[in-house]
């Protein structure tokens, strides 16, 4: 057994990143300023999308997109139940009705077949999740929604660095949400970005993120413009990213391709091992053209043959000093949503099946080959004792 605990995720922080943050602290400018502008510019170039807006979190990003859409009573927003709760909470808090769609159990991505069934005249938006870094088949969703006034909001919290048919995810959708939480492919501590296809929408969302101030009001302290007056054009929020966060993000983004290269090597090592192992199955790889960002490495346990629960499997990993994660517990069966919308077991069979048997294994750029061998040995140990 390992002597030290191996977490399932750990951010990579180097001396350049630390120096950039320290320089920012010493500069006297620590809220939104030149570093945020630089980070947004670099991010825009990386994903090749002109309109990007940095925020305090991906949750804030989704909040503002849904606020911009101005959901009315009865408006439905379709999303997988296999997602993080913030996405569904934002639908609920913005007055929409979350409509849960089942998943493809082989990839955990949205089921196109079930999505077709769930679209109605009340559907205002669809939020597909690029699960674990593997892009959804966006062409199929575009085809389904052709001719309908339905907004596509790509949840790319897992997918920075993922490409779909030669283009970075979100390049052609209405809105795309990215996350910079510490367990993501790059981090700003906390933070997020909205990528917008439409410049008008981007400008409106920029106003919403900064108290509802017009452009002059938002930039009145920048570049010595000597603008003292400000104008509130609508009620807004305070969701601005700080220069401290952006200072970290600038150098994280510079190393993103390097991070993904290491993640890919580790993922391929896992794949080779699990091809030979009974009772455990990795997620499948889709047949269409894409590049995987490998945010997570998820396995499915054959619980019947193992005669052990997923939670007990995770506890035994912890006892062997190996961390793991759960991504995710189906939202439609959580107390609030189950009670309000009368969901029950069996409504989303693939989601429920996977929700009981999946777990995420350690995967991060600083993870060594020895670390990965320790994970594999721990899994072998648990399986041997389950027989």
Where in the sequence numbering do the catalytic residues fall? 184
Sign of CA dihedral 217, 218, 222, 223: negative
Smallest CA-to-CA distance from 380 within 315, 316, 305, 296 is with 316
Burial class (CB in 10 A: 0-12, 13-18, 19+), 8: buried
SS3 361: strand
Tokens of residue 166, six digits = 């030669």
Q: Give the SS3 label for residue 154.
A: strand
Q: Are 6 and 373 in contact (CB under 8 A)?
A: no
Question: Helices (H), strands (E): how many in the chain?
Answer: 15, 13
SS3 120: coil
Three-class SS of residue 195? strand
In sign, the C-alpha dihedral spanning 109, 115, 116, 117 is positive
CB atoms within 10 A of CB 335: 7
* Spatial CA neighbour of 278 closest among 309, 302, 295, 254: 302
């Amino acid at each position: 057994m390992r002597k030290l605990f191996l977490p399932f995720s750990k951010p990579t922080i180097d001396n350049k990143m630390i120096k950039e943050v320290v320089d920012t602290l010493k500069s006297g400018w620590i809220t939104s300023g030149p570093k945020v502008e630089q980070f947004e510019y670099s991010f825009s170039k990386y994903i090749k999308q002109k309109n990007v807006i940095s925020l305090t979190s991906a949750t804030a990003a989704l909040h503002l997109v849904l606020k911009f859409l101005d959901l009315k009573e009865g408006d439905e927003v379709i999303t997988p139940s296999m997602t993080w709760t913030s996405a569904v909470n934002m639908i609920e808090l913005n007055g929409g009705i979350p409509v849960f769609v089942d998943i493809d159990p082989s990839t955990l991505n949205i089921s196109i077949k079930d999505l077709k069934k769930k679209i109605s005249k009340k559907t205002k938006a669809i939020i597909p999740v690029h699960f674990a870094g593997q892009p959804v088949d966006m062409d199929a969703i575009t085809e389904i929604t052709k001719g309908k006034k339905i907004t596509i909001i790509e949840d790319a919290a897992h997918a920075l660095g993922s490409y779909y048919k030669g283009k970075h995810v979100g390049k052609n959708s209405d809105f795309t949400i990215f996350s910079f939480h510490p367990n993501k492919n790059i981090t700003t501590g906390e933070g997020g970005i909205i990528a917008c296809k439409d410049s008008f929408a981007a400008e409106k969302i920029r106003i919403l993120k900064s108290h509802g101030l017009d452009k002059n009001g938002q930039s009145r302290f920048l570049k010595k413009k000597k603008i003292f007056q400000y104008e509130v054009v609508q009620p807004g929020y305070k969701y601005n990213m700080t220069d401290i966060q952006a200072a970290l993000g600038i150098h994280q983004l510079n190393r993103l391709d390097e991070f993904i290269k290491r993640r890919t090597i580790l993922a391929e090592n896992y794949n080779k091992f699990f091809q030979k192992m009974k009772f455990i199955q990795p997620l499948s790889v889709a047949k269409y053209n894409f590049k995987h960002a490998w945010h997570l490495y998820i396995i499915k346990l054959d619980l019947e043959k193992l005669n052990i629960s997923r939670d007990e499997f995770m506890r035994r990993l912890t006892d062997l000093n190996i961390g793991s994660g759960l991504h995710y517990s189906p939202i439609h069966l959580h107390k609030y949503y189950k009670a309000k919308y009368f969901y029950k077991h069996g409504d989303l069979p693939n989601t429920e099946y996977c929700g009981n048997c999946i777990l995420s294994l350690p995967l991060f750029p600083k993870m060594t080959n020895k670390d990965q061998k320790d994970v594999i040995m721990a899994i072998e140990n648990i399986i041997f004792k389950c027989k």
